[in-house]
Structure 1
Amino acid sequence: MHEMSIALAVVGQVEEAAARAGGVTAVNSVRLKVGELAGVVPDALSFCFELACAGTVLEGAELVTESVPGRAHCASCADDWAVGMPPQLCCPVCGEATAGLLSGRELRIADVHWEDGPARERTREPISEER
C-alpha cells in the first residue's frame, strides 16, 4: 500500500514547514490535490494519514482531498477532453493518439491550517476499527 508512504511524506513535509514557521502548536487540517490518474485511493490515504499523524504536531488533523479530473489535449485538432477512468487517451474528435495530459496526475499539498502560540491540550481519540 503506497498510500502509507504518501501519508508519511505529507506528514514529514508539513512537520518541516511547521518547524520553519516556528511556534506551531497544532495542525488542524491538510488539503491535498489528488489527480484521478495519480493511482491514489483517497479512503486508504485518509486512514494512513491518521496513523502517520500519531505522536506528531499533526495528531488529530483533518485530511481533505480534492480530486483533480484528468484532462488531455490533442496536438492534431486542438481538442481538450476529460479522459475519465479508465483513461481515454485517443482524441474523441479526430481519433488521433497524440494526446498530452493537461491534468490528473497531481499529488500535492494545497493548504495547511495550523495554530501557533501557547499549546492547547489535545485529547487523543482511539482509531475506529470501522471506516
Structure 2
Amino acid sequence: MKALTIRQPWAGAIAHQMKRVENRSWKLPAKHEGSRILIHAGAQRDRNAIVYGDHLDVYSAIVAIATITGCHFDDGNQVCCSYWAEPGVYHWTLSDVVALPEPVPAKGALGFWTPDEDTVNAALRQDTGVAW
C-alpha cells in the first residue's frame, strides 16, 4: 500500500472536512488511479493555507485512508470540480475517505512512498469502513 504526504491543514481537511480533491502540479500516474492509499500529514504546515477546524494540528502521521478515483487538469477556464480545487493544476479526486481515530506516526517522503508493514497494519486496523 502506498502513502501520499500532504501538508497540514490540507491532510486534516481531507480526513475531516470533506476535501475530496488534492491539488498537484503533476499528473497522477495511471497505475495509482483506483488505488486505496494512506493520507500522511507532513512534518510542516502550508504557511499560506487558511483553514479552520479541529484535527489540523497533527504532523508526521498517517491520518486517513482514501481511494484515488481520477485525475484531470483545470485550465482555469471554467468552474471545476470542488470548492477546494485550484485553477492551473491537476486535481486528483478522492473518495471513500476514512479518518483514523488515532493518527499513526510515520516519517513521510515526497511523492508516493511505501510505509513499513507495521505502519500500514496500524492504519488498516483502524479502518472502520465509515467514510466521510
Question: Would you say same fold, with TM above 0.5?
Answer: no
Superposition TM-score tier, normalisation by shorter sequence: under 0.3
Name the TM-score, length of structure 1 as normaliser.
0.27
More strand as a share of residues: 2
Larger Rg: 1
More helix as a share of residues: 1
